[in-house]
Amino acid sequence: MPRSSYSEAMQQEFIDRANKFMKDNPKTSRARVAQYAGVSVSVLERLEEEGRIQLPPVLSQKQVRKLSPWATNLGDLSGGRSRFS
């Protein structure tokens, strides 16, 4: 059994938070689940290895790009509108 810095009650709280977030956001990434739960991804992965939680699959590079708002961020760089003119 691996060592843990968290008590059993804290681990259960992380699991509950993660499950709630994954239920509300089914297409989320592991990093966002971990951020919402308040722990790192490695802690959730360890809990998954122990069989206590089921994390979403790792996103491919294409899925990651699709989720980012790069098109809206680049829209201001096209020169159409400028805040400084």
Is residue 2, in this structure, part of any structural domain at all? Answer: no
Q: Answer with the residue of higher pLDDT: 57 or 80.
A: 57
Whether the pLDDT of residue 81 is over 60: the answer is no
CA atoms within 13 A on the CB side of 10: 8
Mean pLDDT confidence for 26-41: 92
The parent domain of residue 57 ranges over 8-76
Is residue 72, in this structure, part of any structural domain at all? Answer: yes
Q: Answer with the residue of higher pLDDT: 60 or 4.
A: 60
Is residue 1, in this structure, part of any structural domain at all? Answer: no
Radius of gyration of the chain (CA): 18
Is residue 84, in this structure, part of any structural domain at all? Answer: no
Is residue 61, in this structure, part of any structural domain at all? Answer: yes
Question: Token digits for 57?
Answer: 């699959």
> What is residue 70's predicted lDDT score, i.e. its pLDDT?
72
Q: Total structural domains in the chain?
A: 1
Q: Answer with the residue of higher pLDDT: 70 or 45.
A: 45
Is residue 31, in this structure, part of any structural domain at all? Answer: yes
Q: What is the pTM of this model?
A: 0.71
Instruction: Provide the H-helix boundaries in the chain.
Output: 8-24, 30-37, 41-49, 61-67, 70-75
Whether the pLDDT of residue 82 is over 60: the answer is no
The CA distance from 25 to 19, in Å, is 10
Nearest to 32 by CA among 76, 67, 73: 67
